Amino acid sequence: MFKSSDLGKDFLWGVAISALQNEGSPEIGGRGPSVWDAFAKRRGKINGAGKPWPASDFYQRYKDDLLIAKALGFSAFRFSISWSRVIPDGIGKINKEGISFYHKLIDECLLLGLTPFVTLYHWDLPLSLEKEGGWAGYHIQKRFARFVSICAEEFGSKVKNWIVLNEPAAFTSLGYMLGKHAPGKRDVSLFLSSIHNAALAQAEGGRLLRSKIKHAKIGTTFSCSEVIPYTQSDPDKAAAQRIDLFLNRLFIEPTLGRGYPHIEGFWLTEQLHMQNKAWKFTDKLSFDFDFIGIQNYFPITIKHNPLVPLIHASEVKAAKRKVPHTALGWEINADSFYRMLKRFWLYGGVKEIMVTEGGACFKDRLVNGVIDDSERISYFQDYLDALLKAKRKGVNIKGYFAWTLTDNFEWNLGYGARFGLVHIDFKTQLRTVKNSGYWWRDFLLNETK
């Protein structure tokens, strides 16, 4: 295993969390309800009937958690600002207690020497805005612009690294077409509208940050998965192309000024193009970001399936193919990670790449009082080797953020899916550093032998 310094002295090593997954305290400090608070109350939506509270109680324990991040050797800390903590009703008064909390959090990061990376939208839309259509609604552009402006004006003098949206392909598809995430809608027309609104908001958010913050470094993050056809048959390859469009091309190509991706005869993309042509917004979809965030957790193998509406494709699970996978069944494939880093770089027009999330869920084991998660350590070793390979091949990668600092509320997976470097006892909030956390400490302090 190489040393962390092999990637250069200016390479950023960070750890990431998000407001909804970590803060808890939904009724403390004036926060309003989000779509996830409402979604979690619906029966059967969250594994184990979990709720996004108390989560890891970061709102009240942020100083302790930042000290842990610093002790593990990280130099950057990525977190998100809860829209409903800053503007509880989405459109009304600013919550001074919420603003104060984020000022204190940022100040603590700076005091400890942790460079703050702020994500503006990490999926926790104020519930009141969903009632007027949410990301599929007419008003979302104006609502998001106000939120971005408030955050820029409040925190821009202290924070220079900004991420506009977290994984827009995920929150639009899972929230508005598949119904697996908040707000739990299953409507193709809403899905298409949410795509368009998110793409516009992403670019406009970048423009607002640029206009309001001097010397800002502005990015946005994309989830991505290499899509592999199950066989080399024409139907399987065509199915893989359709899925690839939605997982990998849908937001990066408009961002780079190429417009929405299109496959001839694919109804969903034809509708998206017709919608965009009617609204004449193509020139507003692009923005010259300083960096692109890449979040790659697994490749996906796809076969043709005529029984699945619209996309005519389905996944062939890793377990069925008998390949290595995480506790969630996600394929482990560092070579695929390497290929995706190269692919996004070779688009052209991408200045820098940050891996804004990287990690894996495994079942942690308590052995002689120590939390053994050796599988997670092996995962990081393999994926970081792939990252170094990509950098040596010319991909301008400037940072890596481990997901995540502590176990948390993992969306619809609840509390059973643990990604943390630090174990959380959710009954007592006791923090226990896992072996993977100690591995990171040794790696970042160049003590790995």
User: Which residues belong to the active site?
Assistant: 167, 357
SS (H, E, C) the chain: CCCHHHHCCCCEEEEECCHHHHCCCCCCCCCCCEHHHHHHCCCCCCHHHCCCCCCCCHHHHHHHHHHHHHHCCCCEEEEECCHHHHCCCCCCCCCHHHHHHHHHHHHHHHHHCCEEEEEEECCCCEHHHHCCCHHHCCCHHHHHHHHHHHHHHHHCCCCCEEEEEECHHHHHHHHHCCCCCCCCCCCHHHHHHHHHHHHHHHHHHHHHHHHHCCCCEEEEEEEECCEEECCCCHHHHHHHHHHHHHHHHCCHHHHCCCCCCCCCCCHHHHHHHHHHHHHCCHHHCCCCCCEEEEEECCCEEEEECCCCCCCCEEECCHHHHCCCECCCCCECCHHHHHHHHHHHHHCCCCCCEEEEEECCCCCCEEECCEEECHHHHHHHHHHHHHHHHHHHCCCCEEEEEEECCECCCCHHHCCCCCCCCEEEECCCCEEEECHHHHHHHHHHCCCCC
Cα separation, 301 vs 227, in Å, equals: 6
**C-beta of residue 229 within 8 angstroms of C-beta of residue 321:** no
Residue matched to tokens 């010397």:
215
355 φ, ψ (degrees, to nearest 5): -85, 100
